[in-house]
Structure 1
């Protein structure tokens, strides 16, 4: 082993279950709004739900589950988008000692059948008629399944009505026997390769990172004296979303739900809800940045935005050097420029996010350092966190006053991180899972002497900051023996406004290649701004040539960060993006690399064959990237 980091002492241990927070909040702060919900989807009006009101709905639903025969240890799936009912029903199930099995509502029929059967679910809550039809089509293969509730058909109210004959004391008795080491959630992995595995997560595991973060960083989630507020839009079917819910309930943050992750719906919800803290994945932060850029260009202020963005990055980088003791901070000229753009640009950008966001967290995959510096420079410090399903969410955090962009921070108090000799990150701590459901072999392979082998690659610097470099199973080895981690190249490619997604390929190939999808909105804007003269056929051809050149520049920029042997030498633009429906993205928006390579095998073969037909000329090893290597057909 090498690069060992041991975090400071942990927060006080959990003594009960997750539902205790709902009941405890109602006892100590009964009138405090803890949830805000809208009367209608898309409404700009958010109605407060107090701690006492939330407790009453959770208790009522819990009584309904008891009336339906749900008992401690029973597993009930929730297959719905991020909405108010998810929070009520999950805590109601935890209150009676049941285990929640989150299922993404966009999961395929086969995925739903596998998860419900593998977990042994006795009940499932679906969102709508589509969910009813999906579950109905696999019921014959699920002999343990006895209950199906539909949220849009009034499931919450029906449960509360059915539970009226159950004594409140029954729920209290069941809740009080739930211990911190009882299983709370069976969370299935992303399934980027092979069948998803069910991770058994205890109440303690899910609460531990939330409590540590609240104790050490909770006061930074809002301006002094204000109640923190969080708009939850990431799926609760993923542990990142569950951690956000846990932070809000346990920390008495005001929690809002947005089930629609489309750009228009999210923008509207941010403006009306006005969160103080933002939780998202890198693709959301990238999309917001590109939207800033596109709207500025459409308004004729593109040059102003680009200058302001560069000043923001420079200012944040100088501030980072200062707080790390490596420099004096921004100079007078930079401070003056930053103050100017604060009045003319930055405050308007923050207004798009609701106007109250002070900080944010990015998770799920690494966040580009330049993007993190941009957000910090405009007044919204966004730090990159790290965690995985097997750790019930986050296990690192940026130390206050010593934040370092480009890293995921240091291990949370109570958690230990090591990096093995082969670069794999190993983790030990209270949030580590109990094991994979029904798969002892996989559990033994992941848990080695109390340490979780994460499958992620990374490095710890001399100060204990962790940097994620990729996944072990994603490393590409070319036919020449060069090992390439695809994530950094893909991350850099996505920073170009025209690029939506990128997948680096090259296993057993002579060089590294890339499959690229384009951002349709930015492409439309780019074409309109290009405004080439001439007849339609000729204009279209010139537009395509200009587009090829622009993507080639994006590839060259990505290549500037790696050696020549690791650089992208061929690429192909695909006509449509990867999505969950096509099976090319996981519900948590991660690439299914094996599926993508299989789906586009013909295009990949053609890409490399075309490269072989391009006339070559000898070049020295240290030469710059050569445009003759481009393949765009």
Structure 2
């Protein structure tokens, strides 16, 4: 089936020969193609409880998905109806996603906080009501909080709530049933599927994904089966994926980056290992033993910091060995492979690198980093241990991947090469414009936003970038994040922030200075290391806030920032610093679910301190 249909008059005509070659009609069709080849192979690994794990084969998943599809039909749902999810990553999510694709219904995603008490009901309410979702699948751990919203009539479009992990009971509410009861309904009414005649095509909407709303009202991005499948086929031409691969899945399935990785594994007959949460990665990796590890820079930075801190805490000799080993690793990966250096590397591998590899399950072939720029220091850390990090670039509206580094051809500081079927150009102001078969169908019920996003068939990414002569893309910053000082100087904050967080004493950073005479930095310290510094320098405190407000600590960070940014043009160097006393997190609102800084939230949080900083 051809994708040469203009789905949106603002878009360019699209075509995907790579997808057309497969003959896939929709995402479920792709899944069934793999099932026929690997019926008894594990498709998922998942934790049942502490130290106990389960698995499902492709046949198990297909049977469950068809039962769920029949259950949806029994509830009166059909093609184009919307269904929403309020749960963590789990095999039932994949099962329901496939069921929706089987009947042509639409998956509406939500982000959920690890702590159920911090579930943001206002965001759920907007997504559910804006999409007109009729059914919600809710994990039992979130049910109590979710029902608070139900009691306040925050989800008027919902007709049924189906709960994962809930025991069957005889509760009074007829609009709530357990997932196990839902499966029984589907098995009992399996014949409904054979009578269902709706055809699901590449042009049909597969999902609505709401942007995180870091700068305004969330927009529902509509991605079709063709958008997602063409992205899968394009990515497969660029990375070395194998049917023996196992993915470590912990990034939220509400985000399209994690979902496209899942689809890639399904396409090749691989296995997805669902970690319990982002906080259990180290323990879960010992069971899952992943070979493919997608993540975001914040997680890589934390892992690097923990490895270095462990080495430092064991004493001077241990830390000296660690620094020597990473230095030898850097020489080898930079091409120095004389006999003596290789001998040193084999010793470094045994003393240091093998222990680090073991912490991640011992089998990782490569990492994929997306969502935000990865600092050179962090990339070099992994490279020195002979890990491959394929830094990629994408966005929800692009379905999602736009570019990625190829295995064995990765170039630190870039996000690789554009996927083959994507056309691109750099606009006069440096913004990246793209067109191709994976670009979204549009924004759900927002023609005004679509008109703003497209120009002459090109989708305007909002990112500033440059492309090398041999096709490697480097992202400078978000166009909307560029700082213009009161002196008329433009400052891209992202590279400065990357440099700051590479310092061992800084955990998080945000550069400010729009319409101000100079730039400043808001930072969150690495408090574990800062406490050691305070102890060594006889700085007394009773809590982190008191430590952050100490004049000696402020002077210390002023010097740290000055040292880290000396190489920058004068107008890009932060002249003053604000020190936060608590880490920025998704749960507390300063980060998006993919760990990007929500600048407007932080500016609001530090509003008084910022005014005081500049007035002084």
TM-score, normalization by structure 1: 0.86
Query: How many Å apart are 1:476 and its aligned residue?
Result: 0.7
Aligned to 1:165: 188
1:147 to 138, 160, 172: 160
Aligned to 1:623: none
2:345 to 326, 331, 338: 338
Query: How many Å apart are 1:335 and its aligned residue?
Result: 3.7
Aligned to 1:582: 588
Q: Does 1:560 align with 2:566?
A: yes
Aligned to 1:256: 273
Aligned to 2:124: 112
On the 8 A contact 1:184/1:201 being kept in 2, the answer is yes
Report the count of equivalent residues. Answer: 580
2:488 to 464, 467, 481: 481
Change (3 A) 1:563 1:391: same
On the 8 A contact 1:125/1:148 being kept in 2, the answer is yes
Partner SS for 1:386: strand
Aligned to 1:200: 222
Matched residues in 1 for 2:204 and 2:16: separation?
26
Q: Does 1:275 align with 2:281?
A: no
Q: Does 1:468 align with 2:470?
A: no
Stretch of structure 1 that moved more, 123-132 or 97-106: 123-132
Partner SS for 2:363: coil
On the 8 A contact 1:97/1:174 being kept in 2, the answer is no
Partner SS for 2:239: helix
C-alpha distance after superposition, 1:14-40 (max 9, x if no partner): 632212233333322111111112221
Change (3 A) 1:27 1:133: same
C-alpha distance after superposition, 1:365-402 (max 9, x if no partner): 01112322221221210021000010122121223443
1:184 to 192, 197, 206: 206
Aligned to 2:171: none
Matched residues in 2 for 1:271 and 1:23: separation?
30
Change (3 A) 1:91 1:344: same
Q: Does 1:412 align with 2:425?
A: no
Query: How many Å apart are 1:450 and its aligned residue?
Result: 2.1
Aligned to 1:39: 48
Stretch of structure 1 that moved more, 540-549 or 567-576: 540-549
Query: How many Å apart are 1:172 and its aligned residue?
Result: 5.6
On the 8 A contact 2:64/2:95 being kept in 1, the answer is yes
Aligned to 1:600: 606
Query: How many Å apart are 1:444 and its aligned residue?
Result: 1.4
Q: Aligned runs of 1:210-249 on 2, under 5 Å?
A: 210-219=232-241, 227-249=244-266
Stretch of structure 1 that moved more, 296-305 or 152-161: 152-161
Q: Does 1:396 align with 2:411?
A: no
Q: Aligned runs of 1:346-495 on 2, under 5 Å?
A: 346-495=353-502
Query: How many Å apart are 1:130 and its aligned residue?
Result: 3.3
Matched residues in 2 for 1:552 and 1:306: separation?
26
Q: Does 1:504 align with 2:511?
A: yes
Matched residues in 2 for 1:523 and 1:26: separation?
53
Partner SS for 1:140: coil
On the 8 A contact 2:276/2:284 being kept in 1, the answer is no
Q: Does 1:17 align with 2:26?
A: yes
On the 8 A contact 2:421/2:437 being kept in 1, the answer is yes
Matched residues in 2 for 1:297 and 1:63: separation?
57
Matched residues in 2 for 1:19 and 1:156: separation?
21
On the 8 A contact 1:276/1:357 being kept in 2, the answer is yes
Q: Does 1:86 align with 2:93?
A: yes
C-alpha distance after superposition, 1:320-377 (max 9, x if no partner): xxxxxxxxx5555544433331221111111111111111110000111232222122
Query: How many Å apart are 1:561 and its aligned residue?
Result: 4.3
On the 8 A contact 2:46/2:275 being kept in 1, the answer is no
Partner SS for 2:32: helix
On the 8 A contact 2:210/2:220 being kept in 1, the answer is yes
Aligned to 1:290: 305
TM-score, normalization by structure 2: 0.88
Matched residues in 1 for 2:18 and 2:32: separation?
24
On the 8 A contact 1:372/1:383 being kept in 2, the answer is no
Matched residues in 2 for 1:541 and 1:121: separation?
48
Give the gaps of 5 or more residues in structure 2: 1-14, 114-118, 168-177
Q: Does 1:50 align with 2:57?
A: yes
Stretch of structure 1 that moved more, 439-448 or 394-403: 394-403
Matched residues in 2 for 1:428 and 1:534: separation?
56
On the 8 A contact 2:208/2:221 being kept in 1, the answer is yes
On the 8 A contact 1:95/1:175 being kept in 2, the answer is no
Change (3 A) 1:496 1:171: farther
On the 8 A contact 2:547/2:553 being kept in 1, the answer is no
On the 8 A contact 1:232/1:279 being kept in 2, the answer is yes
Q: CA RMSD of the aligned region, Å?
A: 2.6
Aligned to 2:329: 312
Matched residues in 2 for 1:15 and 1:465: separation?
31
Change (3 A) 1:174 1:255: farther
